[in-house]
Structure 1
Amino acid sequence: MKYQKAAISGAKWTTFSTIALTVLQFGQVTVLARILTPTEFGLVGMVTILINLFNIFSDLGVSNAIIYKQEDDRKKLSSLYWLNIFFGILLCIILLLSKNLIIAYYNEPRLEGIITLSSIIFLINPIGQQFQFLFQKEFQFKTIGKIEIFSGVLGTITAIYLAFNGFKEFSMIYGLIINASVKSLSLFILGCKKWRPLLYFKLSDIKEHLTFGIYTVGDNFLNFFSTNLGNIIIGGALGARALGFYTLAYQLVIFPISKLNPIITKVAFPVFSKIGEDKLHLKSGYLNIMDIISSVNFPLLVGLLVTSDSIIPIVYGSGWEVTIQLIKLLCIVGILRSLGNPLGSLLMSQGRADLGFKLNLITLLLQLPVLYVGAKAFGIYGVAVGFIIVQFINIVLNFRMVSFIIGSWINNLFKKVYIQLIISALMGVGVYALGSYFSSKHLIVQLTCQVILGIIIYVVFYLVFKKENLKNFKTYVSK
């Protein structure tokens, strides 16, 4: 394909930066879990939800329109840039004004200072936000990757240093601010060399971008709530301590999805946009993405499920045992969710963000009663079980929506991923059986042996049954 080489290069750099950022985040959480309490993690979790929510509205979704429309008109880009700046200021003000309502909902006076400090992020992000999408449109993932790694390192160092010096929950917020500042300013400096904004703003020039963006914002807004509703309900109904346990479990399970899947979906969006309405190539590309995602996520999540009893005491130390059963339940959610991730890139590339909006609306309406009842009846475990139920329904609807865009594909999908399911299941059984032979006094030895055995089982079976994938991968890398 015409854009195959650019996509492969982008995937390489996205992979490298994502792995680096994942290691940094995992390292930060591992260190901070031994310094901070579950309650302090819960307080930051409450504010992180707000930051992620407000970020959805930071540019009204028009940055994605830049990629979809392959926009290069300087006047339109300038209008979009100043719109980003305006909404960043507006969101900062709204967050500060809504501070008391947020504190009242969670019944946590300690949130006041954290919210005030976090509002600064919305003044920082818009400075470089548009340039990231412009670099992405031009497949300059190397530039993005270097900036993200550099800012991530500085943010992580800041958070850990301040935590050791008694800043408690504020250490993580300062880490986020440093990360955002370095990233945004770096993108601005490098981006201005090619796309320096003009002192120009005309709303009529960007009406089409706003129309596209409204559906994107709506889709992201509903997707946010369908993803974070459990955290919101737990924080309000069960308190900061319960949310702290749930946050750490959720972060550990979501690592493979939120960090590894964008390696593919980030690159897929501009590629799908350039392919346009060629259904044959869209279907082929989408199936290949699903194949890759299942090859990575299935073994990781199954492995995490069967080794969580030893991972949690080793990684987070004592006091976090509550998260073990949560992780096992959320791994099931993760497997289902990973299969639904690529839909967003496909829909945006076809200008059908409205379909994603409808799917997320249905999911949210299902989640609200299921998760609330689960939390009230069975606490944090009830929320996790509720997620499993809703995510299964979401996947059924998700697959039907993909069929609407690319035609019949379920049989092809089954042929692509069923081997990964079988291999992952066999790996899980072997790893679990090995763990039963060890004493609880030798957790590090147990986990090491389980990981080695799991890798051997999966790699051997993969080499036997998925040779074609490896051949294709070698071909792509050599190009």
Structure 2
Amino acid sequence: MEDKEVLSNLKSRAISSMKWTTFQTIIVGLSGPLLMIFKARYLTPEEFGVLAIVTIVIGLMNTIENFGISQAVIQKNEISREEQSSLFFFNIFLVLFLGGVLYTISDLLATVFDMPDLSYLLPLTSLIVIINGPSLLFRALLEKSLLFKEISLIKIFRNILLFIVTVLFLYLGYGLIGIVFAQLLAVASSVALILFVSLKNKLVNIMPYFSVKVIKPFLSFGIYVFGKQIMTFTTHRIDEVIIGLFLSNEILGIYHFAKNMLERLRNLITSSFSKVLFPVLSKLKNDINKLSNTYIRISKYLGFFAFPVFIGIAVTAEYFVPFIFGEQWIESIPFFQAFSIILIPLILTANLSSSLLYSLGKPSTVFYIDLVTNSLYVILLFIFAQFGIYAVVLAYGFYVVSKTMSLQFITSKQLLYGFFYYITEFKYILLASIVMTGFVLFVQTASDNYLDIRLIFGLSVLLGSIVYLVCLFKLENKAVKQLLKDVKIVK
């Protein structure tokens, strides 16, 4: 009886957490693309090339400063005061070191990429790295306690503030430096709120204490997570680095613009699940039946959104790009079409399979899969890059498919259901998406010579959505009802 109550309480907290992360994801997901629209209107493709390098540097530093410790904290049952203190000061030392290194090499990077603006943008970026450091441990403790309502509210505030300040700076003509200043202000505000909420919930238990021996188990766990994250980040961004080194800033800006926009949409779908996944799966790791059913169910839920949204982007890109972003971004259309298809396997597998393997205490498995697939990708990228930008896209697509399928194959061996069963779970979702695509293409062909591109885009989205939902309810009625039940839209 007690186990049932614990499980029921966990399910209730998980659903509540997912609701809040979903709400946060909607707000963040809407503000992100809207902000990209403003950036596209006020910045040139060349400036987007510079922004791509700044974004890469911020992402790299955020990955290094965490060092996989957040996952180690969540996975461990209890965290002592000595462990909290040692981890906190370790983060402080690490971010001070990283900030200093970034400040020192700013001029060098500006020279290497032939982007003079980096010489003053990257020192500001180093402040973002340093300010963010103290919050890493407390953010992990909030997630461990499933306090996703508080986390979501903080992220919503951060993104609204970032949106308002960025738009204001762009309107006033501050350009790239305004974007970095807005990011600095948003990070500082969110760090202050995280510290406040952690203190309020009595999660902070810090004293003047540091011991390498105490944090060694966290580092042993985190090193594999960090290795996986750093390799994933590197392989996701090395294409942009190579383009920045060997091709023009304009090509990098167009490429980064399309890829970054679709990455934001990918996060819109996965973020509501991903933050809740690891702590929930960690609590279910001793019940293989519930773990397997939960994994398959969430996979299908992700598929409900991933297939129609990203296939829809591919078939409507030629209409929405000039309409929403402006004629100067027409050259990004092929990249929107390619990346929208490439990212579907990442949505379905990457975060979910990694979270499950971490919950089972197998971070090394994820690390070695990434090591092999990422190494293969880097080799292919250097070979393909000499054949032009579209060959780079092809290499990235091969990498995504090989990585996600390898991860899923290994993950399936940990569950009651095999790899083939997992693949067949998407057959009706894919069928509904194919019917939707055929209908949208028919509408576009029939109206191309008669309607404005804005009307064609609107009709494509409206009619395509209706066709997909009708097909989905017909083919996956039971799973759709279960989704509605799980989020308590219906009783």
| Per-residue deviation, 1:95 | 1.0
The counterpart of 1:225, out of the listed 218, 230, 234, is: 234
1:195 equivalent to 2:186? Answer no
Secondary structure at the aligned position of 2:447 is classed as: coil
Asked if structure 2 preserves the Cα contact closer than 8 Å seen for 1:226 and 1:360, the reply is: no
Equivalent of residue 26 in structure 1, options 4, 20, 33: 33
Partner residue, 1:282: 291
Is 2:110–2:118's contact at 8 Å kept on the other side of the alignment? Answer: yes
1:352 alignment counterpart: 362
Q: Contact between 2:107 and 2:118, CA under 8 Å: does it hold in 1?
A: no
Q: Give yes or no for contact 1:287–1:412 (8 Å, CA) kept in 2.
A: no
Aligned equivalent of 1:153: 160
1:436 is matched with: 445
* 1:322 equivalenced with 2:361 (yes/no): no
Q: Distance in 1 between matches of 2:447 and 2:481?
A: 38
Structure 2 partner of 1:293? 302
Give unpaired runs (5+ residues) of structure 2.
1-6
Partner of 1:410: 419
Q: Which amino acid aligns with 1:245?
A: I
Aligned partner of 1:473 in structure 2 is 483
Maintained 8 Å contact 2:289/2:416: no
1:343 to 339, 353, 367: 353
Does residue 266 of structure 2 align to residue 257 of structure 1?
Answer: yes
TM-score by length of 1: 0.96
Compute the displacement of 1:407 (Å).
5.0
Preserved CA contact (<8 Å) 1:226 1:363: no
Aligned 8 A contact 1:49 1:228 in 2: yes
- CA drift of 1:235 comes to 1.2
**2:93 alignment partner in structure 1:** 86
Moved over 4 A (4+): none
The answer for unaligned runs of 5 or more in structure 1 is none
C-alpha distance after superposition, 1:75-127 (max 9, x if no partner): 21121111111111111011122224422331222211111111111111112
Structure 2: which amino acid aligns with 1:130?
L
Would you say the 8 A contact 2:301–2:483 is kept in 1?
no
Tell me the CA shift for residue 186 of structure 1: 0.5
Match of 2:3 in 1: none
Matched residue type, 1:141? F
SS of residue matched to 1:195:
coil
Q: What are the Cα deviations for residues 290-349 of structure 1, in whole angstroms up to 9, with x where unaligned?
A: 101111111000000000001101111111011101111111211122222212211211
Q: Does 1:39 align with 2:49?
A: no
Query: Is the Cα–Cα contact under 8 Å of residues 121 and 177 in structure 2 kept in the other structure?
Result: yes
- Indicate if the aligned counterparts of 2:56 and 2:237 stay in contact, CA closer than 8 A: yes
CA distance in 2, matches of 1:474, 1:320: 39
How far, CA to CA, are the matches of 2:423 and 2:387 in structure 1? 37
Q: Following the alignment from structure 2 to structure 1, what is the Cα–Cα distance between the partners of residues 375 and 486?
A: 42
Q: 1:353, 1:34 → 2: CA distance?
A: 42
Q: Is the 8 A contact 1:60 1:214 kept in 2?
A: yes
Which of 378, 396, 408 lines up with 2:405 in the alignment?
A: 396
Change (3 A) 1:348 1:36: same
| Residues 127 and 185, structure 1, Cα contact 8 Å, conserved in 2 | no
CA contact (8 A) 1:423 1:462 kept: yes
Paired residue for 2:64? 57
Match of 2:55 in 1: 48
Output the TM-score relative to the length of structure 2: 0.94
Residue identity matched to 2:281: F
Contact 2:319 2:454 in 1 (8 A): yes
Give the alignment partner of residue 127 of structure 2, picking from 114, 120, 139: 120
Q: Paired residue for 2:343, among 324, 334, 339? A: 334
The residue that corresponds to 2:4 in the other structure is none
- CA distance in 1 between partners of 2:379 and 2:86 (Å): 42
Alignment: residue pair count: 478
Structure 1 residue 178 displacement after superposition: 1.6
| Equivalent residues of 2:36, 2:261 under 8 A apart | no
Whole-angstrom CA distance in 1 between matches of 2:310 and 2:487:
26
Higher alpha-carbon deviation: 348-357 or 103-112? 103-112
Query: Out of 173, 198, 214, which is 1:205 matched to?
Result: 214
Specify the code of the residue in structure 2 equivalent to 1:316: F
Identity %: 27
Counterpart contact for 1:95–1:119, Cα < 8 Å: yes
Structure 1 residue 236, shift from structure 2 partner: 1.2
Residue in structure 2 matching 1:8, options 1, 7, 15 = 15
- Verify the 8 A CA contact 2:321 2:333 in the aligned structure 1: yes
RMSD: 1.6
The one-letter amino acid of 1:322's match is E
